[in-house]
Amino acid sequence: MTDASEKTADAANDKVGVVIVAAGRGARAGQADGPKQYQRIGGRAVIARTLETFLSHPKTGPVAVAIHADDRDLFRQAAGADADRVIAVIGGVSRQASVRLGLLALRDHAPGRVLVHDAVRPFVDAALIDRTIAAIGERQGSLPALPVADTLKRESAAGMIEETVPRTGLHAAQTPQGFPFWPLLAAHEKAHHLGKADFTDDAAIAEWAHIPVKIVAGSPDNIKLTWARDIAMADQRLSGERPRFPDIRTGNGYDVHAFEPGDHVTLCGVAIPHDKKLSGHSDADVGLHALTDALLATCGADDIGTHFPPSDPQWKGAASRIFVEHAAKLVRERGGRIANADITLICEAPRVGPHRAAMTATLSAMLGISPDRISIKATTNEKLGFVGREEGIAAIATASVVFPGDVPE
């Protein structure tokens, strides 16, 4: 080999390999836009920002990204042109398994050193990467970490404070964590073959494999996006937005229908046997009619009669869930998120209690919200008025909806 080719080979081996771990499901952050590594902050996917930092660093070389088998299209869409600059591998059932598969993908490139980084730490910077790389030795790893600032308490089995834990010498670990490549791969392979799968980061595997790890200064900006609020704060930070005032709106609805001869009433989407039925152009579900008006009120969309006039024959005998689902759709089209629905049914009979669970489940499906955000109550009118004389049923509904907030002046 010539001197020139030897220098080229040395330069290639001097490049630091990178494993980006991105195979998790990120359930704690919500799934509205997919796993958290694919959610957008400042107009770009989290993982795209992470990749850009490592691909642009002058000391990093081959980059392997461990992704979930279901995320191939998500990854390519998020990474864009950078998808062709990395080695995408299907990750394992745990973070540890994914790192091992990423290391194996780099084996043919034989980097002398390697960094392992969480895809959901998009605020890692070049200076932190430099510090981590500089501390990697032939048989030594490096770990960016921050001293623990909070007072730590150990909890007893009874949920009480058992003791205060001295925080001297305690650190919160970050990534990227750096290691000599071959010793780290050997440690992962040994753990895999022994069935040891409970390591939460690579520094823990290194400790188990007797690879010393040097602590370097971490960065308070290098946060891990774990919860939905972390994503929102990161987006706000990158978008340069000022905090928004929450726009929470409440709408009320009231409806009443008289009885007529029949064999059942429909209340909140559930048919209840009764010796009368409610009179109306549709199925006369007084609870759903009141709820429809409440939802429409939150976005200034007039009332149920405007959208479904009784004079229109197409609504004769119609199921009132059509009305509720239409109102909920209008709310969502305007950016609203239904937070709560509360319905009070006012009648002497029939009894509502035995049917409350079925009503709640039906409303949950209609509104697309969890049952704990729905309240259905019933009360009598103490034998007073038309309700007390069992001439009909009345209903009052309240809906709470959260709309995108306004930036304060």
How far apart, in Å, are the Cα atoms of 383 and each of 49, 188, 275, 285, 389? 66, 76, 18, 22, 6
Both structure tokens of 368: 């697309």
In whole angstroms, give the CA distance from residue 25 to residue 346: 46
Does 13 appear as a known binding residue?
no
Contact predicate 234/276, CB 8 Å: no
Q: How far is CA 394 from the centre of its chain?
A: 39
Please tell me whether 282 is known to bind a ligand: yes
Q: In what helix (H) or strand (E) does residue 18 lie, and over which residues does it extend? A: strand 16-22
Residue 379, token pair as written in the block: 């009360």
Phi-psi sector, 385: left (phi>0), alpha (psi -120 to 50), beta: left
381 is in an annotated binding site: yes
Is 366 exposed, middle or buried, given 0-12, 13-18 or 19+ CB atoms closer than 10 A?
Answer: buried
Identify whether the C-beta of residue 317 lies closer than 8 Å to the C-beta of residue 380. Answer: no
State the burial class of residue 129 (Cβ atoms within 10 Å of its Cβ: 0-12, 13-18, 19+): buried
* Buried b / exposed e along 200-224 (16+ C-beta atoms within 10 A): ebbbbbbeebebebebbebbeebbb
Q: Any known ligand binding at 289?
A: yes
156 is in an annotated binding site: no
**Rounded distance, CA 355 to CA 320, Å?**
17
Q: What SS3 state is found at 306?
A: helix
Ligand-binding site membership of 334 (annotated):
no
Residue 386 marked as a ligand binder: yes
Query: Is 380 a known ligand-binding residue?
Result: yes
Pairing state between β 213-217 and 141-147: parallel
296 three-state secondary structure: helix
Residue 409 to residue 406: CA distance in whole angstroms: 9
* Cα→Cα distances 265→44, 137, 389, Å: 52, 78, 17
292 marked among binding-site residues? no
Does the annotation list 252 as a binding residue? no
Q: Is 379 annotated as a binding residue?
A: yes
Query: Binding site annotation covers 223?
Result: no
CA dihedral 126, 129, 131, 135 (to 10 degrees): -160
Residues that constitute the known binding site: 255-257, 281-282, 289, 303-305, 379-382, 386, 389
* Residue list, annotated binding site for a divalent metal cation: 255, 257, 289
